[in-house]
Structure 1
Amino acid sequence: MLKLISIEQLQLGMYIHQFCGSWLDHSFWKAGFVLNSREDLRRLQRSNLSSLWIDSAKGRDLPAAPVSHSPAAQRVQPAEPARATARVSMSDEVARALKICALSRQAVMAMFQEVRMGQALEVQHAEELVTQIAESVMRHPNALISLARLKTSDDYTYMHSVAVCALMIATARQLGLSEDYIRLAGIAGLLHDVGKLTIPDTILNKPHKLSESEFERVKLHPEAGGAILRQSHDVDALVLDVCLHHHEKADGSGYPHRLAGNQISLFAQMGAVCDVYDAVTSNRPYNRGWDPAEAIQRMSTWKGHFDQRVFQAFVKSVGIYPVGALVRLESGRLAVVIEQNPKSLLTPKVRVFFSTRSNLHLEQHVVDLARIHGQDRIVAREAPEDWEFKNLDRLWNGVPA
């Protein structure tokens, strides 16, 4: 199994799979060897490397948790933090994010089509796309994430990849990772489900619940994706790790390798949360997606599924009441969340549009709950299916249905 460790954790007998950094940071011309020489160990410890990947299946393992499991305490990131980007309003970023979503769909479709035709996946194409997605997330994290959730059954595979990419970037930023690791997290999110290209569309797009044999076929996609990525050019070990292990669970009940706890890397844990969130909030042929706030609430009760530190960072990045959530205010009014308050997850901006007391639609207006402390507040989330409102999504994104 691949693990990301700090240079201080490196020990004799470990198999060095990949160095994290420029070739100028160390004096070794390639990785892929068992560290048996004390002199080589000293050279690495004196190098400019801060971390590297080991393969515990080919050499000595760590006796305790790997560095990747707790970024703040174990310094996964290089010295340079992610650059700051001027934040814009949700409404301003939605227009840009719509264009990025359209371009992303076409780019991912073309990239995946090349893989279907037997060509090696070009990671450079993924990197160019991730740069655009990352810039949108940095300007306003909720715009593209929320728009990518509005996918059709025909483009689910492509837009799910885009959504998980954006969610991985947002979570990585929340965890305080460096710009290099944020970029890799985005690439990992974009390519995490590439193995589903080996699954027949009749199974992936089946309008009913999968049979046991069909589900077993679907469960092969992480390793199928790993095989595709290994045949591709310049795929980072981190990206491969997320592809292989984003369906592992903290309690060891996941697949394909039934890894548990510290056996699962930080980035695979991130992939697990982001993948599930977008899946359960998306409409599928056989099931209506959950309201974003409902998804957060339900996922928080799944004991043993997610690493709690990663899950809490994820919640901070999307909000307890994510954009698009339908909520009830103490005043009896219904509203849709349109923008997060990064300083207080309980007081987002909402668009009020309905009164449950008069059972009438109201003139729509925006309320910043952080600015009216004590006058009104969210008291509950509402299930959209309990109401007959049309085009709720238009209330927050302004996009015609």
Structure 2
Amino acid sequence: MSNLIRSELHALGLRKDPATFSHSVRVGLLAQAAARQLGMPEDEERMFTAACSFHDIGKLLVPQELLVKRLPLDEQERERIREHPLLGVRLVRRLGWRDPRMIATVRSHHERWDGTGYPDGLRGESIPPWARLCAVFDSFDAMVQTRSYNRVKTAAEAMDELRKQSGLQFDPASVELFFSIPEIAIEKIRRYR
């Protein structure tokens, strides 16, 4: 991942939320590893890495207390957090990013293969391809890192969960691509702070 992407994430204020900053970097690193597995051309790899790195940028516009709250969120609070993909689209456009694949990734990374995701309830192949991959990287990292709202899973437990959710929450091909990333690379990325 380029230092430029990390610097931009840092400068945008994600440094105020170290957990989201580190998560964004790890998701970007997973994207970069996947892009290399796919043999993406260098310019496409950079854009894919950036798109996945910026997937949660909309959280900058969500009240910090909601992002770190330990108690269960009420419905109104959950809805505020669910706005972050649309807020993220506004931010990446404001920053001058125009690539439709990046915008689609930021917008659609919480869509689910079975159509129960948000913000648009997209299903299956109608979910943009990069967003399908980003959803797998995002979920894996969320499962293996300490968060205020979940118990940390081992990498093996998280991979089992990805397998179980393949075809439900996740695109099966995206899950398979994730499993093609060398385990040593995943472990190194998982330890990034």
Contact 1:250 1:305 in 2 (8 A): yes
Counterpart in the other structure of 1:174: 37
Residues 1:283 and 2:184 aligned together: no
Counterparts in 2 of 1:298-377, with a 5 A limit? 298-302=161-165, 303-319=167-183, 323=187
Deviation at residue 175 of structure 1 after TM alignment: 2.2
The AA in structure 2 aligned to 1:245 is S
Among 80, 83, 105, the residue aligned to 1:220: 83
2: CA distance, partners of 1:110 / 1:281:
26
1: CA distance, partners of 2:75 / 2:169:
21
Contact 1:296 1:320 in 2 (8 A): no
1: CA distance, partners of 2:120 / 2:25:
26
Contact 2:61 2:87 in 1 (8 A): yes
2: CA distance, partners of 1:272 / 1:205:
21
Residues 1:158 and 2:59 aligned together: no
Among 67, 91, 111, the residue aligned to 2:12: 111
Deviation at residue 167 of structure 1 after TM alignment: 0.7
Question: Structure 1: 5+ residue runs without aligned partners?
Answer: 1-96, 117-153, 325-392
The AA in structure 2 aligned to 1:316 is S
Residues 1:189 and 2:52 aligned together: yes
Cα distance change, pair 292–216 in 1 and its aligned pair in 2 (3 A): same
Contact 1:226 1:240 in 2 (8 A): yes
Contact 2:143 2:158 in 1 (8 A): yes
Counterpart in the other structure of 1:236: 99
Among 126, 149, 153, the residue aligned to 1:263: 126
The AA in structure 1 aligned to 2:9 is V
Among 135, 141, 156, the residue aligned to 1:272: 135
Runs ≥4 residues deviating over 2 A? 106-109, 285-288, 318-324
2: CA distance, partners of 1:294 / 1:273:
14
Corresponding pairs, count:
187
Larger proportion of strand: 1
Contact 2:30 2:186 in 1 (8 A): no
Which one has a bigger Cα radius of gyration?
1
2: CA distance, partners of 1:318 / 1:221:
31
1: CA distance, partners of 2:106 / 2:185:
29
Cα deviation, 1:260-300, whole Å, max 9, x if unaligned, reads 11111211111111111111111013433211111001111
The AA in structure 2 aligned to 1:207 is R
Cα deviation, 1:148-204, whole Å, max 9, x if unaligned, reads xxxxxx511111110111011111222232222111111101111111111101100
2: CA distance, partners of 1:277 / 1:264:
19
2: CA distance, partners of 1:229 / 1:110:
14
Partner of 2:181, secondary structure, is: helix
- Aligned sequence identity (%): 34
Partner of 1:188, secondary structure, is: helix
Partner of 1:283, secondary structure, is: coil
Larger proportion of helix: 2
Cα distance change, pair 224–234 in 1 and its aligned pair in 2 (3 A): closer
Partner of 1:243, secondary structure, is: helix
Cα distance change, pair 211–318 in 1 and its aligned pair in 2 (3 A): farther
1: CA distance, partners of 2:182 / 2:137:
10
Deviation at residue 231 of structure 1 after TM alignment: 2.1
Question: Structure 2: 5+ residue runs without aligned partners?
Answer: none
1: CA distance, partners of 2:126 / 2:120:
10
1: CA distance, partners of 2:146 / 2:138:
14
Structure with more contact order per residue of length (Cα contacts < 8 Å, sep ≥ 6): 2
1: CA distance, partners of 2:185 / 2:94:
41
The AA in structure 2 aligned to 1:112 is G
TM score, norm. by length of structure 1: 0.43
Contact 1:250 1:264 in 2 (8 A): yes
